[in-house]
Amino acid sequence: MTPSAAFDVMVLGGGLGGLSVALRLADAGLRVGVMRKKPSTESSSAWAQGGIAAAIDVEDSPARHAADTLVAGGGLCRPATVDFVVNQAPDAIRWLQQQGVGFTAAGPNHRGSLHLTREGGHSRRRIVHAADATGRAIIAALEARVAEHDGIQVLDDRIGIDLITSAKQRMPGPNRCVGIHALNRVTGRVETIAARSIVLATGGASKIYLYTTNPDTSTGDGIAMAWRAGCRVANMEFVQFHPTCLFHPLAKSELISEAVRGEGGVLRLPDGRRFMDAHDPRAELAPRDIVARAIDAEMKRGGLDCVYLDISHKPAAEILEHFPNIAQRLRTFGIDMTRDPIPVVPAAHYSCGGIVTDLDAATDLPGLFAVGECTWTGLHGANRLASNSLLECVVFGAAASRRIVEEIGGTPPPATNLAPWDESRVTDPDELVIVSHNWNELRHFMWDYVGIVRTNKRLARARHRVDLLQEEITEFYGHFRVTNDLIELRNLALVAELTILCAQSRQESRGLHCNRDYPAALPDPEARDTILIPGAAARMQA
């Protein structure tokens, strides 16, 4: 590929959001590029175990699905968004099946139907899944379709640096997104790519924390690029910590699915006592924020390294049927989940805030769309309901595709004269240890000060530390050629700053945001989203 490549649409990200958009647009006859840092198998979507929430059972309904989503969201879900998503959930499942995804079927007495599991916060069994590796099955099917599609070109080993706008290029007419500068991680060259529309599907930002269930690609790239291009972000303070990440010295980002608790798994202290019923009447089936805080409280109270998730009281054959991949993975660490309790700790899992979009996935910048975890759509509110994330990717992927197809005829062709990346005044970095040191410092203080439980003093300390880091990173970025690690560090530091600003603005405890200095939640009628506007102070909006 040459440094002057051009597409109708460039999609950043190879997870479910990105691939679903790319396939729909290519099926509509558009020339689509898909830019990935790493293979789609290393995306957060591919790592998803549980499944996709959809009210497809005769005893369920979109209205019940919506009600559960609103309860989990702690008063900050946008009802219009929730209704929009849950009502399209059955169509999302059918579309995935049409792409070749093989979901787990119900038993022989339920011919033609799908097996449904139940997860925390859901009042019904409505989780469509492919055993316990749903994300892997979905990504494999969509990747196969992408590979055979003539309308899609995959650009691997590339990371976006910054969006290109017509205003920056001094083009006539209203400002819009016209392309992107991206680093080719193989050649080390910065490429200039033009497109009529850009879709950000870059995932979340959980790598700002020391412990996370996310892959290494979750560095907030899309959120940071959109902010620098002038887009609003919202509700960055709501970071979901998954209650059950495997605690083992050789394990890295090993998630133990929500479905283990949904199928009867219980949480125990090292002496075998259950504790969740003392924290919430729903016990292990309470929403994730409640379970994560309960585990955190028990660990702090007892000085524990971990707690234990135990499903060994269920028949071994049943456990292995529902969780074959988790069981196999645990065996590599010497744990037999049919007999042994699983050591677990909470870990950063999902970003409920992000780039502000409308119901067409459009951002504040014309020509720029965003889908998936990098966005704030109003679906998740103060806490995401389990298995609504993959659903959001498919539904808003379809919405973005419809809007882009409608608009594409009225937009100018991809620009052929975009200014190339200017590195005439930079040199090769001389001390990369600065990058790795700042990366480690950032993740440590975010875990200590902006983690599961926060205080005003902790947030102030984090703000001071991130300001100092930003100064160092800005100086380094201005003097040296970009590298993958420098780009990701720059993005992580910015996303950390946005997260801290949002957390300092919310003077209450709500959903995933728990501040000991404001232990109570404001009355729901007074609940506001935290909207950050580039160049302005954070403000709360209804």
Active centre residues (catalytic): 288
CB half-sphere exposure, 484, CA atoms < 13 A: 13
Q: List the Cα angle 116/41/125 in 5-degree steps.
A: 10
Residues listed for the chain: 542
- The side-by-side arrangement of strands in the sheet containing 342-351 is 239-246, 342-351, 307-310, 266-268
CA distances from 229 to 226, 392, 445 (A): 5, 24, 27
Cβ atoms of 485 and 219 within 8 Å: the answer is no
Buried b (16+ CB within 10 A) or exposed e, 205-221: bbbbbbbbbbbebbbbb
Cα separation, 68 vs 79, in Å, equals 12
Cα separation, 254 vs 245, in Å, equals 6
Cα separation, 107 vs 115, in Å, equals 7
Cα separation, 62 vs 479, in Å, equals 54
- The side-by-side arrangement of strands in the sheet containing 116-117 is 52-53, 127-128, 116-117
Name the token pair of 478.
């201005």
Q: Mind giving me the DSSP string for 174-230? A: S--EEEEEEEETTT--EEEEEEEEEEE-----GGGSSSBSS-TT-S-HHHHHHHHTT
